[in-house]
Amino acid sequence: MDFKEIIKWYENTYLRKNIGLQITVENLVSILNVYNVNLKELCKSENNKPIYSIKIGSGNKKVLIWTQMHGNESTGTKSIIDLLAFLETSNFNFIKTKLFEELTILIIPILNPDGAEAYTRDNILGVDLNRDAVDLIAKESKCLNKILNDFKPEFCFNLHDQRTIFNVEGTKNPATISFLAPSVNEERTLTESRKKTMSVIVSMNEILQKVIPNHVGRYTDEFYPKATGDNFQKAGYHTILIEAGHYKNDYDREVVRKFNFLALLQGLFFIATTKSFKNYLPYFDIPNNDKKFYDVIYRNALYENKIQDIALQYKYKLVNNSVEKILELEKVGDLSNYYGHFEENLSGNIFYLI
């Protein structure tokens, strides 16, 4: 895949619109209106909103992708919009033909429409859908489970956003994209299913390292007995978790969206064309995610009669139907081992919390 040409298309030809942090089902329907996309209603959410699917291709290898199981994590949905635009409006016919002929892709953009509307992680009943794979309390989890059992995909992509606190271990770079091949047990056994999953991640990481070197992390593979990815992986569906994260000054996640799209396209193309899913070992060369970032650090501030460092973190709230970032005090003390996306040395001047 000639990623340089694809980036050129993305930046120069594709009439991409900024969307911001919130995407509701209504937003999605209106954005996709300009494309020849057939949205099929799969189920209803707890609050009776439609959960849609989009089907692409007619190949033998089946891939299931879902986004926004956490309602306020919209970068995956933006990348799906980009993917649909790529398939419909670009001239990369070789790649497109491979995807259409080798794969049948079922996409559920916005699995949690009520959370998307309220801009919350959980669904309207306060259920974290990513911890509901066993109990299946929420209608949205039942919906995903039914699709999994009916469609029986070979591969799944579970698209999330991660917070701005993560860096790539050993660097001052934010973890702009992080991957995980979820574990199937507490021993984190390297099953054949996990190895296959890892080999797809290896192919995506190779591309990203050329575009955003040392900005890719590997999420902890600690086993979560009730998590979706872990349970799907355990059931033999090769499940790839992608966490879109922070990139310099990209608080609206309009830049990482491009990298997420590129990773997803590469993952799909790899699944469509590779003869072997055995190259999994380089997965372990991807550095771990670490938690060394705050949004803002004021160094050497006079605060409560002491010279110390002050860290602040943005919290996101829906105010009059728009997402507002509000800086809140997060930590006070010696933060010399931490990095701020924005830093200022107050050199002993007083820090006022407004």
253 binding Zn ion? (CB under 5 A) = no
Residues ≥6 apart with Cβ < 8 Å to 94: none
Which of 73/140 has CB closer to Zn ion?
A: 73
Q: How far is the CB of 57 from Zn ion (least distance, A)?
A: 27
Residues 171-200 interacting with Zn ion (rule: CB under 5 A): none
Residues 82-111 interacting with Zn ion (rule: CB under 5 A): none
C-alpha 327, offset from chain centre = 23
Q: Which residues pair with 278 in a beta bridge?
A: none
Site residue total, Zn ion (CB under 5 A): 3
Residue least distant from Zn ion (Cβ): 160
Which of 70/78 has CB closer to Zn ion?
A: 70
Angstrom distances, CA of residue 169 to CA of 14, 52, 118, 139, 272: 34, 37, 33, 38, 32
Which of 112/308 has CB closer to Zn ion?
A: 112
Nearest by Cα to 199 from 312, 277, 293, 254: 277
Q: How far is the CB of 129 from Zn ion (least distance, A)?
A: 9
Angstrom distances, CA of residue 321 to CA of 79, 129, 324: 23, 23, 9
**How many other CB atoms sit within 10 Å of the CB of residue 231?**
20
Which of 70/341 has CB closer to Zn ion?
A: 70
Which of 85/244 has CB closer to Zn ion?
A: 244
Q: How far is the CB of 74 from Zn ion (least distance, A)?
A: 11
Which of 73/132 has CB closer to Zn ion?
A: 73
Which of 106/111 has CB closer to Zn ion?
A: 111
Q: How far is the CB of 79 from Zn ion (least distance, A)?
A: 14
Residues 113-172 interacting with Zn ion (rule: CB under 5 A): 160
Tokens of residue 276, six digits: 């072997």
Q: How far is the CB of 70 from Zn ion (least distance, A)?
A: 4
Residues 62-81 interacting with Zn ion (rule: CB under 5 A): 70, 73
Q: How far is the CB of 131 from Zn ion (least distance, A)?
A: 11
In sequence order, what E strands does the chain have? 40-44, 50-56, 61-67, 103-108, 155-161, 167-168, 177-180, 216-218, 238-244, 289-290, 293-303, 306-319, 322-333, 339-345
Q: Which residues pair with 143 in a beta bridge?
A: none
Strands 61-67 and 103-108 come out as parallel
Q: How far is the CB of 21 from Zn ion (least distance, A)?
A: 14
Angstrom distances, CA of residue 147 to CA of 52, 107, 140, 319: 12, 11, 11, 35
Which of 49/70 has CB closer to Zn ion?
A: 70
Q: How far is the CB of 95 from Zn ion (least distance, A)?
A: 28
Which parts of this chain interact with Zn ion (CB under 5 A)?
70, 73, 160
